[in-house]
Amino acid sequence: MAAGVILDTSFLITLADPVRKHHEAARKYWRYFTENALPMYLPTIVVSEFYIKQSLPPEILRACVVLPFNWDDAIKAASLDFSKADRQGASRDALKDDVKIIAQALVKDAAFLITDDSSSFYKFAEALVSSGTAQFRPIKLEDGFDLAFFNQGQRELNLQSDDEEAESP
């Protein structure tokens, strides 16, 4: 049974940086994941990408399950054959890392992938879902927070304005 969410580097960067465009959506997803005890998987590949610019805050590390890139992940990544993927301007190295993260989601049987990279990571993940290769649901921060991902497509009726919601406990 699929469970948990794989965190992409762009999600963590957006979560950590309040000036990024989709920061509020990242915060809402993070809050949802923690409040609902949804396992959050942090690939070591993501850690290496994130650490290029900054270290991970301890509260993020404590909340996540670290996923080392292992033998099964490597075999799955090779089977995805990223050489045929539409790069959409992404570098070969970036795409190789994306494929490895997505392979880990497949091996782990994750229910979700979350990213702020809608131009390449999300498109490649979505293409795998469309082809029947993947069963996870990719989430892109660009679309904002959407509870429907977790409620079999049913959206929550929100009668509060964003300002009222920010003030409520």
Domains, the chain, in order of start with CATH, read: 5-151 (3.40.50.1010)
**Residue 120 confidence (pLDDT):** 87
CB distance 39 to 63 below 8 Å: no
More confident residue, 160 or 23: 23
| Distance of alpha carbon 26 from alpha carbon 139, whole angstroms | 11
pLDDT digit string (tens) for 29-71? 999 999 999 999 999 999 999 999 999 989 899 999 999 999 9
**Residue 168 confidence (pLDDT):** 41
State yes or no: pLDDT of 142 exceeds 60: yes
The mean predicted confidence, pLDDT, of the chain is 86
pLDDT digit string (tens) for 9-27? 999 999 999 999 999 999 9
pLDDT band at 96 (very low <50, low <70, confident <90, very high): confident
Contact residues for 41 (Cβ-Cβ < 8 A; gap 6+): 4, 5, 6, 7, 64, 65, 67, 104, 105, 108, 110
